[in-house]
Amino acid sequence: MHNASTLLRSSFFSPKLKSSVVRNASKVASHSKPVQRLCRPGYTGVKNVRVCGHSCSYVGVNRQMGFARYYSTAKKDDPPEEEAEVKDETPLFSSQLPATVAVPEVWPQVPVIAINRNPVFPRFIKLIEISNPALIDLIRRKVKLNQPYIGIFLRKKDDDNKSDVVTNLDDLHQVGVFAQIHEMQDMDYKLRLVVMAHRRIKITGQFIEDEIESGPAETDAERRRRKYRVTRKKQDSEAQEKEKTETPKEKKAAVDQVLMVKVENMMHQKFQQTEEVKALTQEVIKTIRDIINLNPLYRESLHHMLAQGQRVVDNPVYLSDLGAALTGAEAAELQAVLEEMDIPKRLMMSLSLLKKEYELSKLQQKIGKEVEEKVKQQHRKYILHEQLKVIKKELGLEKDDKDAIGDKFKERLANKKVPQAIQTVIDEELNKLNFLESHSSEFNVTRCYLDWLTSLPWGITSEENLKLEDAQVILDEDHYGMEDIKKRILEFIAVSQLKGSTQGKILCFHGPPGVGKTSIARSIARALNRQYFRFSVGGMTDVAEIKGHRRTYVGAMPGKLVQCLKKTATENPLVLIDEVDKIGKGVHGDPASALLELLDPEQNFNFLDHYMDVPVDLSKVLFICTANVIEHIPEPLRDRMELIDMSGYVAEEKLAIAQQYLVPTARKNCGLSEEQLDLTSESLHTLIKSYCRESGVRNLQKHIEKIARKVAFKIVKQETDKLIVTDGNLSELVGKPTFKHDRMYDITPPGVIMGLAWTAMGGSTLFIETAVRNNVVDDKSHGSLELTGHLGDVMKESAKIALTVARNYINTHFPDNKFLNNSHIHLHVPEGATPKDGPSAGATIAAALASLALRRPARQHVAMTGELSLTGRVLPVGGIKEKIIAAKRVGVNCVILPEENRRDFDDLPSFIKENMDIHFVTKFDEVFKIVLEGEQITDEHLQRTKKKKMEVQDITRAAAN
Catalytic choice (55, 361, 690, 840): 840
Measured CA to CA, the distance from residue 932 to residue 858 in angstroms comes to 5
Catalytic choice (486, 620, 883, 923): 883
Q: State yes or no: is 883 an active-site residue.
A: yes
Handedness of CA 557, 559, 561, 562 (dihedral sign): negative
- DSSP 8-state class, residue 459: T
Q: Is 765 annotated as contributing to ligand binding?
A: no
The backbone torsions φ and ψ at residue 201, rounded to the nearest 5 degrees and listed phi first, read: -135, 165
Q: State yes or no: is 840 an active-site residue.
A: yes
Per 3-state DSSP, the chain is made up of helix, strand and coil in percentages (nearest 5) of 50, 15, 35
The DSSP bridge pattern shows strands 622-627 and 506-510 to be parallel
Measured CA to CA, the distance from residue 221 to residue 624 in angstroms comes to 109
Measured CA to CA, the distance from residue 630 to residue 261 in angstroms comes to 89
Q: Is 396 annotated as contributing to ligand binding?
A: no
Measured CA to CA, the distance from residue 846 to residue 864 in angstroms comes to 11
Q: Where are the alpha helices (DSSP H) in 162-236?
A: 220-235
The backbone torsions φ and ψ at residue 566, rounded to the nearest 5 degrees and listed phi first, read: -70, -40
The backbone torsions φ and ψ at residue 616, rounded to the nearest 5 degrees and listed phi first, read: -120, 135
Q: Is 518 annotated as contributing to ligand binding?
A: yes
How many other CB atoms are found less than 10 A from the CB of residue 115? 19
Q: Is 555 annotated as contributing to ligand binding?
A: no
Handedness of CA 156, 162, 168, 174 (dihedral sign): positive
Measured CA to CA, the distance from residue 289 to residue 242 in angstroms comes to 65
Measured CA to CA, the distance from residue 466 to residue 551 in angstroms comes to 41
Handedness of CA 929, 935, 940, 942 (dihedral sign): negative
Torsion angle (degrees, nearest 10) of CA 568, 571, 572, 574? 40
Amino acid at 654: K
* Among the listed residues 306, 289, 446, the one whose alpha carbon sits nearest the alpha carbon of residue 361: 289
Q: Which residues pair with 263 in a beta bridge?
A: 203
* Burial label, 325 (beta-carbon count in 10 A; 0-12, 13-18, 19+): buried
Q: Is 512 annotated as contributing to ligand binding?
A: yes
* Among the listed residues 451, 453, 485, 465, the one whose alpha carbon sits nearest the alpha carbon of residue 572: 465
Q: Is 591 annotated as contributing to ligand binding?
A: no
Q: Which amino acids are annotated catalytic?
A: 840, 883
Residues that constitute the known binding site: 511-518
Residues that constitute the known binding site for ATP: 511-518
